Amino acid sequence: MQSVRGMRDVLPEEARRWRRVEDEMLAKLYGFAYEEIHIPLLESTDLFARGVGEATDIVEREMYNLNDRDGESITLRPEGTAGCARVLSDAGLLYNQTQRVFYRGPMFRYERPQRGRYRQFYQIGAEAFGLPGPDIDAELIQLGTVMWRSLGIDDAVTLELNTLGSQAARGAYREALVAHLTPQKDELDDDSQGRLSTNPMRILDSKSAATQRLLNDAPLLIDYLDQASVEHYEGLKSLLEDLQIAYVENPRLVRGLDYYTDTVFEWTTQALGAQGTICAGGRYDGLVEVIGGKPTPAAGFAIGVERVLLLHEELHQEVHGETLNAAVDVYCCVLEPRLHGWVLDFVQQLRQELPELRVRVHAGGGKLKNQLKRADQSGADWALFFGEEEVQHNRVAVKHLREPGDQVAMELEALVQHLTPKEN
């Protein structure tokens, strides 16, 4: 049997990197005092139709919709922001207070699978509610920057920045854009022709070279912004300058999702081909109201974790100097089957003393030679040998597998000292 198209199986080697890279990002979220929430995988279809927007790629053709047994239309979440806003709004946590939260987990979109683009993919998203100013936009961007630096991928990513202005300003701009493009409608790509009436700003985002050429002398949104949006944008840029965070202004940057207002940003890389955006976000002051809550300013971002992993893998063999090859640090060879219970107990005491250590006990018996072969294949640096002689004296024989030297017998206390990583 094969997996469903667009689903990915993650094997131990990748899962190991995943765990390290994700932990690194979560540590930064905690450091910035964001709180984790869990949001359901299934929501009513209506939440996304409203919260993401009817005229978006996601709602038009990417959602996994299904009918529940009672006939309700439900959808596998294609993104986390709408669900996050719903969860907090339902719990009354958006009323007269601010929230800074994060969520993580798989999202589902029916897309054409390719490297860095899957039908099930994993996002970590951070969202801040109740905060209208550019200060929180800057904090979110700083948070991303700090993550990339800790992962050692900061040199390979560029921050792209734009503002979409208020919904009113966008309305005026949308009209100007449509007026500009309508006479040349036939020269637009098919998707963009459709969007001219449904979601014209998405045309700016078109991948078609012909369409991009037609856009060269199109009106610019920046000329339509109201004073408040200009000040918000200038305020954000000045904070980024204070933080010495470099950015590139990209007037064509629009998000696929409808609920964005003012700030939009993406981190992109040249290293992953067409799937170059590892993280995207911005401000979405309109969202909470659209899904039935009180008007609430909000901003956030979502990280495409598989893309971060691909980039990390291109750039690094290791995380924090720790090689990602080995899954096992210590392999325990049990020379007599009847000692096995004693060994399991002893090894557990070792694990308690050194919780970071990954200790595997040989199972299935067999000759020492075969057990040693397994020890070697596991990638472990150390082997422990439990024989009659050792067990009688409450000891174990230890040997380094990757350096010359004899095996030495010792008790638990000395073993703990022996296996404690030396500070360099």
Give the binding site for ligand ATP (CB under 6 A): 79, 109, 111, 116-118, 121, 123, 256, 275, 277-280, 302, 304, 306-307
Q: CA-to-CA distance for 276 and 263, rounded, in angstroms?
A: 20
Least CB distance to ligand ATP at residue 260 (A)? 10
Q: Are 30 and 68 in contact (CB under 8 A)?
A: no
Q: Which is nearer to ligand ATP, 315 or 408 (CB)?
A: 315
Q: Which is nearer to ligand ATP, 7 or 196 (CB)?
A: 7
Q: Which is nearer to ligand ATP, 144 or 297 (CB)?
A: 144
Q: CA-to-CA distance for 363 and 345, rounded, in angstroms?
A: 14
Q: CA-to-CA distance for 74 and 66, rounded, in angstroms?
A: 5
Least CB distance to ligand ATP at residue 62 (A)? 8
Q: Give the closest residue to 105 by CA, choosing from 50, 41, 186.
A: 41
Query: What distance, in Å, lies between the first and last C-alpha atoms of the chain?
Result: 49
Q: What torsion do the CA atoms of 166, 171, 176, 177 make, to the nearest 10 degrees?
A: 80
Q: Which is nearer to ligand ATP, 88 or 280 (CB)?
A: 280
In the bound state, the residue with its beta carbon closest to ligand ATP is 304
CA atoms within 13 A on the CB side of 309: 23
Least CB distance to ligand ATP at residue 373 (A)? 40
Query: For residue 122, which phi and psi values (nearest 5 degrees)?
Result: -115, 130
Least CB distance to ligand ATP at residue 122 (A)? 8
Pair of tokens at residue 105: 């987990």
Least CB distance to ligand ATP at residue 104 (A)? 12
Q: Which is nearer to ligand ATP, 123 or 199 (CB)?
A: 123
Least CB distance to ligand ATP at residue 162 (A)? 13
Decide the pairing of beta strands 64-67 and 73-76. antiparallel
Q: CA-to-CA distance for 216 and 95, rounded, in angstroms?
A: 44
Q: Which is nearer to ligand ATP, 116 or 293 (CB)?
A: 116
Least CB distance to ligand ATP at residue 192 (A)? 15
Q: Which is nearer to ligand ATP, 136 or 254 (CB)?
A: 254
Least CB distance to ligand ATP at residue 103 (A)? 13
Q: CA-to-CA distance for 203 and 196, rounded, in angstroms?
A: 8
Q: Which is nearer to ligand ATP, 253 or 347 (CB)?
A: 253
Q: Which is nearer to ligand ATP, 113 or 219 (CB)?
A: 113
Find the farthest-apart pair of alpha carbons in the chain and give their distance in angstroms, rounded: 92
Least CB distance to ligand ATP at residue 304 (A)? 2
Strands (E), 141-287: 157-163, 248-249, 261-269, 277-283
Q: CA-to-CA distance for 267 and 244, rounded, in angstroms?
A: 16
Least CB distance to ligand ATP at residue 271 (A)? 13
Pair of tokens at residue 242: 């204070």
Residue 72: count of CB within 10 angstroms of its CB: 11
Q: CA-to-CA distance for 216 and 288, rounded, in angstroms?
A: 35
Instruction: Kindly list the distances between the CA atom of residue 13 and the CA atoms of 203, 316, 327, 328, in Å, as whole numbers in the listed order.
Output: 40, 14, 8, 12
Q: Which is nearer to ligand ATP, 82 or 347 (CB)?
A: 82
Q: CA-to-CA distance for 280 and 168, rounded, in angstroms?
A: 23
Q: Which is nearer to ligand ATP, 111 or 353 (CB)?
A: 111
Please, which residues have CB within 8 angstroms of residue 96's CB and are 6 or more apart in sequence? Answer: none
Q: Give the closest residue to 93 by CA, choosing from 290, 259, 296.
A: 296
Least CB distance to ligand ATP at residue 286 (A)? 16
